[in-house]
Each structure stands twice: as C-alpha cells, then as structure tokens.
Amino acid sequence: MIRTAVLLAGTALLTPALAHADEAVAGSEGRVAIVVTGKADGYRPEDANAIKTPTPLVDVPQSVAVLTREQLDDQAVTQLGEALRYVPGVVLGQGEGHRDQVNLRGQNTTADFYLDGLRDDTQYYRSLYNIERVEVLKGANALLFGRGGGGGVVNRVSKTPDIDKAKGAASAGVDTFGAFSIAGDLNQPLGSNLGARLNATYEEFRNHRQAFDGRFIGVNPTLAFQPDADTRVELSYNYDDDERTTDRGVPSINGGPLKGYDDTFFGSEALNIARVKAHIAQARLDHQLADNLTFNVIGQYSHTDKYYGNLFAGSAVDPVTKTLTLSGYSSATERESWIGQTNLVWEGRTGPIGHTLLAGFEVSKQDTAGLRFDPSFAGGGTTAVVTLAKDLVVPAATLTANRRATESSVDTWSAYLQDQVELAPFLQIIGGVRYDQFKIAGAVNGVGAKRTDRKWSPRAGVILKPRKEMSLYASFTRSFLPQSGDQFGSLDATQATLDPEQFENIEAGLKWDLHANLAFTAAVYRLTRDNTRFNNPVTGLAELSGRTRAQGVELSLAGRILPQLQTSLGLAWQEGEVRSATASAPAGRKLAQLPNFQASAWTRYDVTKRFGLGLGLTHQSSMFTTISNAVRLPAWTRVDTAAFFDVNDRLSLQLNVENLFDTDYFPSAHTDNNITTGKPLNARLTVRAKF
C-alpha cells in the first residue's frame, strides 16, 4: 500500500509541473520581530507561528498543515476537533466525551496541544472563537516543544490587537438540532501606540443523541503596547467555561459497532456531566535588537478546575441475551501551571554561508490534584447488567465508591539551539539539539514516588532547492515521553522505574509553491516508538507493548487554484503495527485508530462577487478501535455543502449542510465499547456582520 502511494504521489506531480509557478512570497508580517503570524491569502498560509523562526513553510523540513481563519469560517466550525478532521494523518479520538483527543500519525495524545507556542495540555474541549488559525506540525517535535509530541503537535494562534485600525465583527449561527452560537470580535486603538481587542462567545450544544446538551462561555481580552517600531508587548487573559453531557457513544456487537441505536444514550442524564473552568493569562515581549537579531520573552499562567462523571457501556452487547454491562466513574481535577520561555533569533552570514540561528530556554512548573470515584449501583456493585433497548433503563446509581486520590508536581527546564544553514542558494542544512530535565513527584492514595529524566533531543535535516519556490527535504527528529501517561497526574512505584518512551521520525518530502497563493506538499515518513504505552481495550488504562512503528504518505494542496476557486485537499496512506511481542500485544498487532486511507477536500467557488458555493468531502477507511484488534469501525464517506451570500460589504449569510446524504457512520472510539456515532443530515445558518 505504501509503495503504491509513493507512485501515486509522483504521478500527482505531473499536473502541477505544467503550471507556471510564480515567485513565492517569503518572510513574515504582523507581529514585531521573530513572531511569525502566518499571513495567508484565503486557505494558503506562508509560515507557521510554532516554528519559532521567520522561515517560509517551503523551507521547513517537516510536514506542516495550517487551517486559516477563512477556511474555518467557510466550514462554520467552532470547535478544534471539528476543524482537525480536514488534516491528513490526523484521526479524531472520542476523548471519553469530555476532552480533545487525537491520533497523529498513529500516536494517541490528549496533551500535545499548544496556544501561541506554549503548552496547553489540560484535558478539555478547545473553542476557536478567538483563534486566527490552527497549525499541525507532524512528526517528533521535542526540539521546539519538549516532551511528548511524538506524532506531532497542534498549535492554536490567537487573534491579537491591531493598533492602527478600529474594527469589529459579530456572528450568530443556529442548526437544525437547535444548537446555536453568538460571537463578537472588537478591536480598538487606544492611542498611537496602544490597542485592545476583545473576543467573546456563547454557544449551546445539541445533536442527534437522546440526552446531549451543554453550553460554552468564552471571553478573551487582549492589550497590545508598541512604544517604538522595534518593541511590542502583549497581555492577554482567556476564560473558558464549558458544561456538557459526557457522552461515550454506543457499545460493540460481533466485532463491530452496534447499529440501529445511534440515538440511544448509554448513560445517566443526572450523572453524565462534564464541567470545566479554565483560566489562561499570557504576557509577551518581542524586541528587535538589531536588523538581524531579535528576541522574545513569554510567560503563561493557567488554572483549570474540572469535573466529569459518566456511566457508559463497559462490555459488548451479548448477541444472544441482548444484554450489556454498564460501568462508570467520576473524576475531579485541579491543575495550576506556570511556563516561561525566551527565544533569540539571529539571521546573518559567516562569509558566504547564511544562518538562521535559534537559541531558547524554557522553565515550567505544574501541580495537579485529582479525585476519582467508582459507581455504586442500586443493589450493590460497581457494574450493572441492563437489557438493550432504544430507551435504555439505567439502574439508580451514585458515583461514591472506591475513592482514589492522586497528586503530582512536575518541574522542568530546557535549553535548545538550532541553526538553519544556507550553504548555497540550492542547499540548506538544519541541525539542533534540546536538553530537558524533567522531574516528577507524585502519589496515589498517599503513597508517593519520584523520578528525574534528563534527555537530549536532536533534530537534523537537509533541504535541496532546485527552484526558489520548491524544496526537496529529508529530516530526522527524536522526542521522548516520561512514563506517567501524557497528563502526568500521578506517579506510582512501578512507573518510577521505567525509562521514558522514545519517538524517532524519519521523513522525506517535497514542497512546491505553485504560485504565490497555492502550495503543494508531499511527505513520506517512518515513525518508530520504543517502550510504547497504549490504552487497554477493556479498562482504557495505559499498558506497555514494547516497540511500534507507523509509516505513511501524506499529500496536500492548499490555496487559490483560480481567482474564484480556493481549496484545501489532503490524502494520507498509512499503516502501523506492534513490532515487539509482549504479554499485552503480540508482534504484528495493528495500531488502534489508524485507517489505511484518509481523504479530505474542501473547496469554495465564488460564482459572483456576492455569491459562492462550497463542497466538502471526508473519507476514512476502516480501522480498529483499540490495540486488541477485536472491534473494527467500518469505512465511511461524508459529503458537506455550503452556500455564501454577501448582502453587502458588511453583512453576509452562510448555509452549511453537513452529511448531505445522511450517511450512517462511526468516526471515532475510545475503547472497544465506547464508539461515537456520526451526526445525520443537518444544516447550520450563520449570519456575519462587520463594522
């Protein structure tokens, strides 16, 4: 399959080769100094905030996907998970119905999320109301981000104040389930060198499920001060208040998802509740010391209070008796985090050789405390057997049994150095290394353990540029993950004896700016993970399986093909398996939630200056729900459409239709018996105003 994909990738290049490729636009605009805000024309970005240097994407030796604000608006998405379905190589996880969770190149993660380049790893759902764009950097990324990031990272880039111009926008949308949202974005200069921006939203959730509802409140004020042309200071505060039903989908039967019960809620309306309040405050200073020397200093404080309770299907449906077992638990978590980071970038030459040198330092502290309770069903016991029905009869229960208390304190400091060297106009090399000291002290029910890991994470690559707007690259990166789960909520005596997981990513690819507004990328990779952790298919808890390997091919095309037509296309062929036999997973077992083929396409065609049409397609081949390989989700294809109408220069209407052909599909899972059901045909009407 992979060899065939490589041949297809080569064939795909023949058509672009016939097109005239204008000179690509390089460099960055927007923020002062080294911050690359990602100027974009429509769906095509030029650079990435998370790269930390002013490097055009065509010269970055790794696969990077960027979802611009214009694309997010055209697709009418308000949540991060909804947006990521259009990124090749990204598979959405269910997240137990209370958090963002993704599989990046076959690597499951709940923690590899970032906000403006700083870690945002608490388990919750992320809204996009105050986000300018979303960046997905694939492959191991420890040099830039530290621990984790084995399959990649997801970085959200915030909207920031424009000091020179007053402007505002508002939107309101409602869908056929009754879900709705309102949002406002106000930017106001407060003087010649001071500006403020306020983003806010209120959203209510509804879908096809029997008992699902919820609401989200988000407020994000930001202040920017620019005393001179070389300096900019930004202060921001982000408040998220999310409450929703914890919905873990349907169980399996006979090795596949239970069909015909897409609306049935396998839980308790009273107990299946998730609440989170998240506070994130950021301060940032960017300063240009000289024409070729810049630095920034960034600080972030976050505090999160979270609770969720859930009952869920704890077993498959017995095909003979038509019964299943219900299980559940509740969890309360409080987390406080501090992060400080500074970066220095020098762009210059030593004789005929050019350099983009990055030197950085990061320090962080994170304290987490958690409580967990099991269910107590009427009549005793922490599980209950129920009879399958469209309206499930759930025995009375409380979440009060078997208290488990956890706590942890994580302290890290890191230093990194990287140089992108231009040896000739057609040849660049990149090399760098990061050193991390990671200390964790944790306890479970008062029994504590400690561990310190000190790791070096290298990055190396070579870039050939037969043309200014084209690059051929090869790269090697390494990352690590200490053995306490990616949330580091606790540490027990066994985990304290285990070496960290290690990720090694080898990648080669082609990037071609076909013209200033259209970019094509192709990448082939092999990602090896040692001392691997995966979730047990029954308990959902982490276990070790030795070595795994994922490999694949990814293709993407983003930007404006014609003046009236812009598109975002993605294809991914991939495969992954366990490579070393252990008691938990024999060699040859396929990786969970890694479909062999994915395809996504979104296009917008402007028929006139005021009227446009949109068409989207998402396809995913079949995949196993867990490493047990006992349950397989069937392949599915979903078609979406949209229509856009500008009433005038300030007011527009938008209609998005999701799942046009009412496909019955199962997009994600958490265990073998927590399987998400896809939404049926529905429509969303959005009104947007500018002022």
Question: Average model confidence (pLDDT) for the chain?
Answer: 91
Confidence label for 542 from pLDDT (cuts 50, 70 and 90): low
* Percent of the chain whose predicted confidence (pLDDT) is above 70: 92
Of 140, 105, 118, which is closest to residue 480 (Cα–Cα)? Answer: 140
Residue with tokens 């890191």: 414
Q: How many other CB atoms are there within 10 angstroms of residue 477's CB atom? A: 26
pLDDT digits (tens, 9 = 90+) for 602-624: 999 999 999 999 999 999 999 99
DSSP state letters, 197-238: EEEEEEEEE--SSTT--EEEEEEEEEEEEEEETTEEEEEEEE
| Domain coverage including residue 141 | 2-690
pLDDT, tens only, 238-269: 999 999 999 999 999 999 999 999 999 999 99
Task: State the pairing for strand pair 113-115/152-158.
Answer: parallel
**CA 86 to chain CA centroid, nearest Å:** 11
pLDDT (tens digit, 9 = 90+) per residue, 115-151?
999 999 999 999 999 999 999 999 988 899 999 989 9
Q: What is the pLDDT of residue 233?
A: 98
Which single residue is written with the structure tokens 């009427």?
A: 378
Burial of residue 18, with CB atoms counted within 10 A of its CB: 0-12 exposed, 13-18 middle, 19 or more buried: exposed
Domain count, the chain: 1
Surface-to-core class of residue 218, CB atoms within 10 Å of its CB (0-12 exposed, 13-18 middle, 19+ buried) = buried
CA angle 539, 106, 493 (to 5 degrees): 45
Residue 112 has pLDDT above 50, yes or no: yes
Kindly tell me if the per-residue pLDDT of 673 is higher than 80: yes
Residue 86 contacts residue 97 (beta carbons within 8 Å): no
Q: What angle do CA 356, 357, 362 make, to 5 degrees?
A: 135
CA nearest to 572, candidates 292, 45, 152, 76: 152
β strands within 256-352, DSSP E? 256-257, 273-290, 293-313, 323-350
Please report, as a single letter, which amino acid is at residue 56.
Answer: P
Q: Which of 143, 661, 91 is nearest to 416 (CA)?
A: 143
Q: Which amino acid is at 7?
A: L
List the beta bridge partners of residue 370. 333, 406
**Least confident residue range of 36-45, 564-573, 574-583:** 36-45
49 compared with 118, residue with greater pLDDT: 118
Between strands 623-624 and 632-633, the pairing is antiparallel
| Over residues 276-302, mean pLDDT | 97
Q: Beta-carbon neighbour count of residue 254 at 10 Å?
A: 10
In this predicted structure, the answer to whether residue 545 has a pLDDT above a threshold of 90 is: no
Rounded CA Rg of the chain: 25
- The count of residues in the chain is 691
Nearest C-alpha neighbor of 622 from the set 610, 607, 633 = 633
* pTM assigned to the model: 0.92
Q: Are 360 and 343 in contact (CB under 8 A)?
A: yes
Q: What CATH number does the domain containing 660 carry?
A: 2.40.170.20
- pLDDT for the residue 6: 36
- Strands, DSSP E only, in 56-179? 64-68, 90-92, 102-104, 107-109, 113-115, 118-119, 131-138, 152-158, 167-175
541 secondary structure, DSSP code: -
Strand partners, 203: 181, 216
Structure tokens at 306: 């979270």
